[in-house]
Structure 1
Amino acid sequence: MAVRIAVMGATSNVGREILQVLSESGIPHTDVTALAADRSVGGEASYGEDDTVSVGDIGRFDFRGVDIVYCALPEEEATIHVPRAAEAGAVVIDTGPRFRMEPDVPMVAAGVNPKALARYAKRNIVATPSTITLMVAEALSPIHDAFSLTRTLVTTYQSVSAEGRPAMDELFNQTRGIYVNEPVTSNQTEFVKQIAFNVLPTVGEFEKKGGATSEEAGLARESVKLFGADMRLHANCAVVPVFVGHSAFINIECEEGFNEDQLKAAWRKSEGVSVVDHREPQGVVTPAETPGEDAVFISRVRLDTTVENGASFWLTGDNLRRSAVNAVRVGQILAAEHLGK
């Protein structure tokens, strides 16, 4: 039986990637409805290399008869439309932050905790982690399974695409403007400080206590929800002038001992993780090489001799693609193992 699918926020950065991944998975465009709530309504969105889908109005759409809805809407719009779709009988897979930490909504990274999907029916909503949490979790999961993580330190270098198309435009316009002596403030609406040729050590708003930003606190909280209460993770998050591709340096400590070859062997057994680690200038992966790639790439693997059973490594990947691939994979598992059972 064909699964009937809708994509909310189909013209957003992640929404477009979801349409692309759905096409690549072999789902015909006739089984997919694209929805938006902005001026793109009435237009068309690309579906794979050769097809397009018409963009309908979320506010007027009747979700009855739809099996799975992928949501790539901003949080405010998701608050309105996700419950509407769920109450109509569709299962909503939300890539945004709105429902992640609600106790009766499972948060699923397909390669980390797919069994959590069994709890989807409580509200017909499944959350997915933030992209940086997803990428970090995909790298940590095989290590945790093999050697039992005790502490993790993550320092992220996040691209502007996570903030949407206007943020990408701001980076482009500021970069161009600096070369023609335009004041930065004439091209500054998305970030509180200059993003071109700069690094911003804050992602999100500051928490009320402790000095962490919402992205840093979210990475830690989401990791606990994915792995369990014993997961101890400290995060430092920054935005860098990169259009697409999140990266991180990660330090780990484990209960069990290991060597570099054992670490790499654990990763190579894991779907979606690729180890490219040669100790020469061309032997690492940078974010510029990741757009369009499904994998999370790991390089710079080395032991940390300052702690017992420690190591550090570099992680990078296409953040938009990873979010879309995970969402679609969650939908595939849902359809195969839960819907219609």
Structure 2
Amino acid sequence: MNTGMRITAFAAALAATFGTAYGVGAAVGPAAPDREPAAHAEHGSPASSGHGGHADTVPAGLQISQAGYTLDLETPRVTAGEKSELRFTVRDRDGRRVTSYRREHGKELHLILASRDLVTYRHLHPVRATDGTWSTPVDLPAAGTYRVFADFTPATAGAGNLTLGADLAVSGTYQGAALPGPAATASVDGYTVTLRGDLRPGKASELTLSVSRDGHPVTDLQPYLGAYGHLVALRSGDLAYLHVHPNGEPGDGTTAPGPDVSFTATAPTAGTYRLFLDFRHDGTVRTAAFTVHAGKTAPAGTPEPATGEEHGDDGHRH
């Protein structure tokens, strides 16, 4: 788009089918992995409904309501470039605010924000009030439609992990951005992260991300939320969500603190995915981003992803 367009309103919801919604899901029912990850399970694969253990066929993050829980986004619109407070609640099937959660990697709830073009990314940890209302400061740089993902596990007996999604409108002058091309390396704040392995549709595969700085391997990564790295994948075009935890964890006697962080992941279908790796070093959390193709050959000569930005402990940017 050559000229800016003032955005004053956005569509509040998209269809919750795989072809029209948001990121790492499947046009048909997702295939089960060939093997389980060595340590942590994937979040964002179709979650158990909590009733008889049957899996939902809609990929995680595409629905605002699932298994009797609803994401109530109380701040549906913010302004680009301005600090705002994002507020939301999770409600049960009776409309009551949920106030009890199981901790996953040190937090009751993980909040992911991503722009539809997958250029802007945030991993936030909001604060919950006693009445069940969650809040977090946000400062989003560009106008457009964003997806808010709440990744949590209710403390109700039999409840499984859920990722609910809702649209957030960010008003301002909109300029569309192209998805960065696929590349095996990404740079952020002087660090270089190299990706080895292929993301495969319908089959579990190992992805290894190696962190270096100034040409030297980083061998003293610091634990962040109980792991040396966290990986979120979003599929381009619908932003269905997959949160993959690494194989191994700090203190298990076998997992080294870098330079390699490995993950076992499954792409339910062929497509283009954006991977976001969070890692911590020298007290700062940083995010390296990659564009990859599952079940396709990446075009030759494509550019590297854009350089990321420095992050703080409570939320980080890309």
After TM superposition, the score normalised by the length of structure 2 is: 0.23
Whichever structure has more helix as a proportion of its residues is 1
Considering Cα pairs closer than 8 Å and 6+ residues apart, tell me whether 1 or 2 has the greater RCO: 2
Report which of the two structures shows the higher radius of gyration computed on alpha carbons: 1
